[in-house]
Amino acid sequence: MRKTRWTNVRESAIRAFFFTCGILTVLVLLGIFATLVATAVPAFRDITPSEFLLKTNWDPTSPEKAEYGILSMVVSTLMVTGGALLLAVPIGIGVASYLSDVAHWRVREILKPVVEILAGIPSVVVGFLGIVLFGPLIAKVFHTGHGLNAANGSVLLAIMALPTIISISEDALSAVPAAYGEASLALGASRWQTLVRVKLPAGLSGIIAATMLGMGRAIGETMTVLMATGNARSFPHGFLESVRTMTSGIAIELGEVPYYTTHYYALFAIGLVLFVMTFAVNMAADVVLRKYQEKER
């Protein structure tokens, strides 16, 4: 076939079309950021940024003086996320180690998709189970009136973060060169010693990245914490207290807020803070993951 000028034009047009589709994701990401900034900025005509970030009282509908401090919500988010990681990281690394080093390969082939099922359960269902299963349990064990508190949220977020942590940690462990393990076994170390002193340290950066991705997911999760943590607006003092995270704060109030008021803009400002936090965590995870992939090569 002879390539005419017409085919050349057509080929470039097709390439340009696919390029437009490709570049769209960049535009969406920039668009989300720009939209959040543009809608958050008007809030700061009435609120000073330091008041917004450092005050703990959030009461936009107060008849006397509306207050817009998000610190309680930020601390609640960090608390619930931290609790989730305390549970999910050891269990996740344990399961990843089990899958890569202990389980028979047939068992592993069955269990890996089973763990994936956990990732497929919608967050609203997990939140529902927090209300009907874990809530009453926590209330009984710790003698609190109801079980809708930070601890409940942490347990649920841990369950939701586990599949991410397990699968990426498992990848990291299986990417450790076989020679490392063999050398350790040849020197007389047990399989356990090899796992703990050789393989886990060698896969550490992957495990850290897995933890951070799990953390990003936990910070941004909305429905589970909205349903299971009780949503009290006060500053949190312990895991058995009801807390309101940034995501639930937005979810509760955005439905009722009048458009284009300071309150409305302030909710978008919370969204912006949330976006920046998850962006930072994900970028950090990305850098760590990239470093370790480069090292592997």
- Cβ nearer to another protein, comparing 57 with 222: 222
* Options 144, 211, 247, 262; binder of another protein; rule CB under 8 A: 247
Whether 146 contacts 222, CB under 8 Å: no
Distance CA 262, CA 251 (A): 17
Three-point CA angle 103, 217, 243, nearest 5°: 115
- Cβ nearer to another protein, comparing 99 with 150: 99
Whether 79 contacts 236, CB under 8 Å: yes
Q: Binding to another protein (CB under 8 A): which residues in 69-88?
A: none
Distance CA 269, CA 263 (A): 10
Residues in contact with 216: Cβ distance below 8 Å, sequence separation at least 6, in sequence order = 278, 281, 282, 285
Q: Binding to another protein (CB under 8 A): which residues in 108-167?
A: 111, 113-118, 120-129, 131-133, 159, 162, 166
Q: Binding to another protein (CB under 8 A): which residues in 21-50?
A: 21-26, 28-29, 31-32, 35-36, 39
* Least distance in angstroms from the C-beta of 185 to another protein: 12
Distance CA 185, CA 141 (A): 45
Q: Binding to another protein (CB under 8 A): which residues in 174-213?
A: 190-193, 195-196, 213
- Our finding on whether 4 is near another protein (CB under 8 A) is no
- Cβ nearer to another protein, comparing 63 with 132: 132
Q: For 144, which DSSP code?
A: -
- Our finding on whether 105 is near another protein (CB under 8 A) is no
Q: What are phi and psi of 66, to 5 degrees?
A: -65, 140
Site map (CB under 8 A) of another protein, residues 254-273, x = contact: xx---x-------xx--x--
Distance CA 169, CA 214 (A): 11
* Least distance in angstroms from the C-beta of 64 to another protein: 28
